[in-house]
Amino acid sequence: MSSISEKRISILISGRGSNMEAFLKAERRGVLSGQVVRVISNRPDAAGLATASDAGVATTVVDHTLYESRGAFDAALAEAVKQDNPDVVVLAGFMRILTPVFIDAFVGKLVNVHPSLLPNYPGLNTHQRAIDNSDREAGATVHYVTNEIDGGPPILQVSVPIESGDDSDSLAARILDFEHVIFPEAVNWHLQGRLVHEADGAYLDGKKLPPTGSLWEWQA
């Protein structure tokens, strides 16, 4: 059985990878319970690839445009991830809808962050939808990934007030800062063995988490 320091993290990105950077920074600070062993992108021009490479992390491109179907791409992506035998696979701004071909290969250790207070607003345009609905709060949710889009068990959630004058861009930027905090924290729980994905939901320290996951507590 591998120790905490030997736990392996694979990260999937499609763009600049700001959440990926949060993991790399956490690792440099010594507060990440594992090592980022590879960053994989479906886009060869993803800016985050250079960031990862500069940090000494191996990178791989699996260009989705070279495959005739989602299934074929997902099979190739799964093979690229399997080479490192990761303990957790992190979707950090990976802008592809994954099929069971990929998800079923890593179920139980596939984690994403979604920019809403799940189960509210799965899918796209989450910040604008919250504003249009006159919500008082928005936020982000780290969750396990299943074959239901944005429907896997929530793990950790942060609630952020919607301020007067907010538009979708200002709200998104403010929430992103909190994503960088809660995403590595939730993944740490998984790597430490405190968090597991069971058939009926996510369990933290042996207790089933509520449908919204654990609420992140603001630090004074």
The predicted pLDDT at position 217 comes to 84
The predicted pLDDT at position 169 comes to 97
Q: CA–CA separation, 167 vs 57, rounded Å? A: 36
Chain segment 104-142, per-residue pLDDT in tens: 999 999 999 999 999 999 999 999 999 999 999 999 999
For the chain, helix (H) and strand (E) counts, in that order, are 6, 11
> What is the token pair recorded at 33?
């319970």
Q: Domain of 203?
A: 113-141+154-220
Compute the C-alpha angle 125/131/134, nearest 5°: 140
**Residue 45 domain flag:** yes
Which residues have a Cβ under 8 Å from the Cβ of 157 and sit 6 or more positions away?
117, 118, 139, 140, 141, 142, 182, 212, 213, 214, 215, 216
**Residue 206 domain flag:** yes
Sign, Cα dihedral of 187, 125, 214, 100: negative
The predicted pLDDT at position 3 comes to 57
The closest alpha carbon to 19, from 178, 137, 191, 172, belongs to 178
The predicted pLDDT at position 220 comes to 42
**Residue 148 domain flag:** no
Together in a domain, 118 and 90: no
Q: How many domains does the chain have?
A: 2
Beta-bridge partners for 113: 142
Question: Model confidence at 6, in pLDDT bands (50, 70, 90)?
Answer: confident
Q: What's the mean pLDDT in 65-89?
A: 98
**Residue 2 domain flag:** no
Chain segment 174-218, per-residue pLDDT in tens: 999 999 999 999 999 999 999 999 999 999 999 999 999 999 986
Longest CA pairwise span in the chain (Å): 52
Instruction: Look up the pTM and report it.
Output: 0.95
Active-site annotation, residues: 114
The Cα-based distances of 188 to 23, 33, 120, 172, 191 in angstroms read 10, 5, 25, 24, 5
The distance of Cα 27 from the centroid of its chain, to the nearest Å, equals 16
Residue with tokens 């440099």: 28
**Residue 1 domain flag:** no
Beta-bridge partners for 91: 12, 112
Together in a domain, 65 and 135: no
> Does residue 4 have a pLDDT over 70?
no
Together in a domain, 101 and 159: no
Together in a domain, 166 and 184: yes
Q: CA–CA separation, 211 vs 159, rounded Å? A: 15
pLDDT, the chain, mean: 95
Together in a domain, 72 and 29: yes
Amino acid at 6: E
Q: What b/e readout covers 49-79, taking b as 16+ CB neighbours within 10 angstroms?
A: bebbeebebebbbbebeebeeeeebbbbbbe
Question: Model confidence at 1, in pLDDT bands (50, 70, 90)?
Answer: very low
